Chain A
Amino acid sequence: MLEQSKSDKITSDLLRHIRLNKAFIIWMAFLGASLLVCLYAYTIQLREGLGVAGIRDYVSWGLYIANFVFFVAVSLIGMLISAVLGLLDTKWSAPLARIAEIVALSFAAVSGLVIILDMGRPDRLLNVIIFGRVQSPILWDITVVTIYILISTLLLYLPLIPDLKICADKLDKKPKFVRNIYKVLSLNWNGSEEQVKIIKKSIRLLSILIIPVALAIHTVTSWLFASTSRAGWNSTLFGPYFVAGAFVAGCAGVIIAMYFFRYNYKMQDYITLKHFDMMGKLLVLVSLVYLYFNVNEFLVPGYKMEKFDAIHLTELFVGGHALLFWSTQLLGLVFPIIILLFKQMRKPLPIMIVSIFVLVGAWFKRYIIVIPTQENPYLPIQLVPDVFKHYTPTLIEILITIGPMILTLILITILSKVIPIIPVHETIENLEEENN
């Protein structure tokens, strides 16, 4: 049995961040105010129509859709860390599972809102249910994203149940109603052998279930593009290409979250250098896979240079989108792979900075996937004003794009303030096992 004092220290360390402090209030006030500005921008769009954005008849999917793809992409990390690594029983990743789930769930939940921002008639959202046609990839996307959110919620909640009980018991300075909420949510957890058995079995089952669902959400998202016959989208590689890219973005997102939790929540003993080192290796691994898909995606059509592929690729390699294309590929993918091969670069600060580049690169990569293809349709763009020919996002559109990002940060911050971000029960249990 672990020394009582040691287990008490772990508990108090891991519960310490569950409180309202000044920094939290200032941070939330800042996020809240920014969100209001973005909401105001959206009310303008609601009133005036989608025309307040830069999208027009040819480039009709712009920042909103790129943003949607990005959100779905980041949300995939929950599956990789908590399910895949969990099932493989990799001990080092266990403390990170909850951070990954929080990031995943927040991004997945907000992705549903992002797609509504893109609708010309959001008031007709229910039509999708009333008149839904199973032939349309949009229906598949809605179905799998909903299931993914559901399973992700359960995968966050089930391992949390023992911790909620600890919260109810140990957070004695909190008001009674708060402790009661923890108590109700802990579903009468008492740590009996039977309960442990049930919860372990359920988590295992959900971890298996979430793998095909997670693969499905991003594969189906890629099919929104790949199911059309357009140069740049018409690719059989899009499913795995998107999934690989998603892991890159998700890993970077989790590393950034780890960094801020480690320093702001004083988690140095629990989110250790080893975790950053291992996450760095994981990021290199998934980036190499993604690089491999990129080579296939661009080199194969680039070798043949069929008429419309040639127009599209020329535009990316040396044309109007070249700067953005090479920046995302080099700063967001190739250089990070090289940099992270060095051990010193996998220390918290450098790897966090590299991850920011990767994450920003991942967002612009979605822009590169979504927009240029539409600027080069099969038939020439003529007899329309110049704004129809080249896409330029408007300020309102940018604000509406930033809005969901802020909302996601709010969700992550709130979740990390009400539940222990490192599993308390599991950490104590693992230490006990090690001692034995």
Chain B
Amino acid sequence: MSEKEEKPKKNSRRVFLQQLGMVGVGTVLGGSAILAGINYDKKKTQGSRIKVLSAENELLEIEKSDTTKVIKTKLGELTYLQKQGRTGLEGKRFVMVIDLSKCKNAQKCMGACQSAHHLRPEQSHIKTLKMQESANTPAYYMPKPCQHCDNPPCVAVCPVDATFKRQDGIVLIDNERCIGCRFCIAACPYSARSLNWSEPLYAQADKDLTYNVELNVPQKKGTITKCLFSADRVREGKLPYCASACPNGVFYFGDENEDAVTNGTTKETVPFRKLLEDNGGYQLMAELGTKPRVYYLPPKGKEYPFQDKDKAEAAEQYQS
């Protein structure tokens, strides 16, 4: 032990000088290297470093030369969008809750839906229906989107897998594949589907757009269009177009797995099951066994009167 301790002491001056020299040379070399590096980097950041978003939603900066362009052609872009659209969002089970006590028939949901999906005025993926079951039961407004059933009759009957159910619960329609047989329209008990009977309104304007199955734009003649739970918005973590557009707080949208739904108007997030529990939530025509993913809160304690002008139309249902 003592010998070892003595050894460095003996040579300490020589060692020190040696080390000093090395550091000196190193500093000069290193310094020049850093300088060269900075200059080199400067040259690169001027155009060849780019920011990319990873699949995990992280913003990264990488050398442009290290990237390979995934989407080269329109066909490639379509393939990418189709694959993404058919896969859906892992680990999610989307649900919507519609509070009938708040709907005043503002129809803002319909307008937002029509403009987002480039629909004709008579088409809408969501409709605010005037409902009344019998003479003595109350009339109320009922926004009705696709119910995104877990046992969807439309998906069962589709001959070509154009309409399909995703892992996140959303039922989509692929208008690149749809043959326009309209069996899904016949099978849907909620009348949630619509066909492009003629050339879509924005056919000319949209002709260069790549088809996005999550938005169903561009619309195509002779194919089905339907509510998509705004799958494109949901992918970005936003609320559906209809929910965001509602001025009256009718819509809640969220994830059943997280047990949380967010109100489209107030942006308030509440527990999903508790919301149903506290307000007597139900599903539309659950007796058909379709297992809808849209839930309704009954029109109890409406904050407004049902408008007189709509009474006759609502009453048609039980009078016929």
Knowing A60-B182, A121-B178 are in contact, say whether A50-B159 is a contact too (CB < 8 A): no
Q: Cβ of A4 < 8 Å from any Cβ of B?
A: no
Closest to B200 in A: A49
Contact A119 B179 (CB under 8 A): yes
Q: Cβ of A88 < 8 Å from any Cβ of B?
A: no
Q: Which of A52, A133, A225 has the most CB of B within 10 A?
A: A133
Contact A382 B179 (CB under 8 A): no
Knowing A49-B198, A51-B198, A138-B159 are in contact, say whether A124-B122 is a contact too (CB < 8 A): no
Contact B159 A128 (CB under 8 A): yes
Q: Cβ of A118 < 8 Å from any Cβ of B?
A: yes
Contact B157 A137 (CB under 8 A): yes
Closest to B178 in A: A121
Q: Which chain A positions have C-beta within 8 A of B160?
A: 124, 127-128, 130-133
Q: Cβ of B195 < 8 Å from any Cβ of A?
A: yes
Selected contact of B288 from candidates A127, A229, A383, CB within 8 Å: A229
Contact B157 A136 (CB under 8 A): yes
Selected contact of A378 from candidates B180, B189, B222, CB within 8 Å: B189
Contact A379 B129 (CB under 8 A): yes
Q: Which chain A positions have C-beta within 8 A of B182?
A: 60-61, 118, 120
Q: Which of B160, B178, B195, B288 has the most CB of A within 10 A?
A: B160
Contact A57 B191 (CB under 8 A): yes
Q: Which chain B positions have C-beta within 8 A of A132?
A: 159-160
Q: Cβ of A58 < 8 Å from any Cβ of B?
A: yes
Q: Cβ of B209 < 8 Å from any Cβ of A?
A: no
Closest to B124 in A: A383
Question: In the complex, what's the smallest C-beta–C-beta distance from A144 to chain B, in angstroms?
Answer: 14
Q: Cβ of A48 < 8 Å from any Cβ of B?
A: yes
Contact A133 B159 (CB under 8 A): yes
Closest to B198 in A: A51
> Could you tell me the distance between the alpha carbons of A49 and B110 in the complex, rounded to whole angstroms?
25
Q: Which chain B positions have C-beta within 8 A of A112?
A: none
Contact B189 A377 (CB under 8 A): yes
Contact A379 B190 (CB under 8 A): yes
Contact B181 A138 (CB under 8 A): yes
Question: In the complex, what's the smallest C-beta–C-beta distance from A109 to chain B, in angstroms?
Answer: 20
Binary flags per residue of A39-83, CB closer than 8 Å to B gives 1, else 0: 000000000111110011110110000000000000000000000
Q: Cβ of B311 < 8 Å from any Cβ of A?
A: no
Contact A228 B186 (CB under 8 A): yes
Question: In the complex, what's the smallest C-beta–C-beta distance from A226 to chain B, in angstroms?
Answer: 11
Contact A388 B122 (CB under 8 A): yes
Question: In the complex, what's the smallest C-beta–C-beta distance from A208 to chain B, in angstroms?
Answer: 30
Contact B181 A119 (CB under 8 A): yes
Interface SS of chain A: helix, strand, loop or mixed? loop
Q: Which of B177, B181, B183, B285 has the most CB of A within 10 A?
A: B181
Knowing A120-B222, A132-B159, A379-B190 are in contact, say whether A49-B199 is a contact too (CB < 8 A): yes
> Could you tell me the distance between the alpha carbons of A171 and B129 in the complex, rounded to whole angstroms?
72
Knowing A57-B191, A57-B195, A133-B161 are in contact, say whether A118-B131 is a contact too (CB < 8 A): no
| Among listed B14-22, B270-278, B300-308, B312-320, interface-contacting one | B312-320
Considering only residues 186-237 of chain B, those with a C-beta below 8 Å from chain A are 186-187, 189-191, 193-199, 221-223
> Could you tell me the distance between the alpha carbons of A56 and B158 in the complex, rounded to whole angstroms?
19
Considering only residues 315-336 of chain A, those with a C-beta below 8 Å from chain B are none
Contact B179 A228 (CB under 8 A): no
Q: Which chain A positions have C-beta within 8 A of B159?
A: 128, 132-133, 136, 138-139
Contact A385 B178 (CB under 8 A): no
Selected contact of B316 from candidates A51, A121, A380, CB within 8 Å: A380
> Could you tell me the distance between the alpha carbons of A422 and B152 in the complex, rounded to whole angstroms?
52
Question: In the complex, what's the smallest C-beta–C-beta distance from B20 to chain A, in angstroms?
Answer: 77
> Could you tell me the distance between the alpha carbons of A132 and B27 in the complex, rounded to whole angstroms?
72
Q: Cβ of A111 < 8 Å from any Cβ of B?
A: no
Contact B222 A138 (CB under 8 A): no
Q: Cβ of A221 < 8 Å from any Cβ of B?
A: no
Contact B183 A49 (CB under 8 A): no
Q: Cβ of A384 < 8 Å from any Cβ of B?
A: yes
Contact B128 A383 (CB under 8 A): yes
Q: Cβ of A381 < 8 Å from any Cβ of B?
A: yes
Q: Cβ of B185 < 8 Å from any Cβ of A?
A: yes
Closest to A310 in B: B320
Q: Cβ of A281 < 8 Å from any Cβ of B?
A: no
Q: Cβ of B71 < 8 Å from any Cβ of A?
A: no
Question: In the complex, what's the smallest C-beta–C-beta distance from B10 to chain A, in angstroms?
Answer: 86
Q: Cβ of A20 < 8 Å from any Cβ of B?
A: no
Considering only residues 294-342 of chain A, those with a C-beta below 8 Å from chain B are 311, 314
Q: Cβ of A183 < 8 Å from any Cβ of B?
A: no
Q: Cβ of A417 < 8 Å from any Cβ of B?
A: no
Q: Cβ of B165 < 8 Å from any Cβ of A?
A: no
Q: Cβ of A230 < 8 Å from any Cβ of B?
A: yes
Closest to A131 in B: B160
Q: Cβ of A1 < 8 Å from any Cβ of B?
A: no
Q: Which chain B positions have C-beta within 8 A of A379?
A: 129, 144, 190-191
Knowing A139-B159, A382-B127 are in contact, say whether A120-B223 is a contact too (CB < 8 A): yes
Contact B189 A121 (CB under 8 A): no
Q: Cβ of A90 < 8 Å from any Cβ of B?
A: no
Query: 30 interchain pairs (CB within 8 A)?
Result: A49-B221, A50-B180, A50-B197, A50-B222, A57-B123, A57-B193, A57-B194, A60-B185, A60-B186, A118-B182, A120-B181, A120-B182, A121-B222, A121-B223, A125-B179, A128-B160, A131-B162, A132-B159, A136-B157, A138-B181, A225-B186, A227-B187, A228-B186, A229-B288, A230-B186, A376-B320, A379-B144, A380-B313, A380-B316, A383-B122
B residues near A (Cβ < 8 Å) are 110, 122-124, 127-131, 144, 153, 156-162, 177-183, 185-187, 189-191, 193-199, 221-223, 285, 288, 313, 316-317, 320
A120-B196, A314-B320 are known contacts; what are 13 more A-B pairs with Cβ within 8 Å?
A: A57-B195, A118-B182, A120-B182, A121-B222, A133-B160, A135-B157, A136-B156, A138-B183, A139-B159, A227-B187, A228-B187, A383-B110, A383-B122
Pick the 10 closest A-B CB pairs, nearest first: A120-B180, A120-B222, A51-B197, A51-B198, A138-B159, A136-B159, A131-B160, A121-B222, A49-B198, A60-B185
A residues near B (Cβ < 8 Å) are 48-52, 55-58, 60-61, 118-121, 124-125, 127-128, 130-133, 135-139, 224-225, 227-230, 311, 314, 374, 376-385, 388
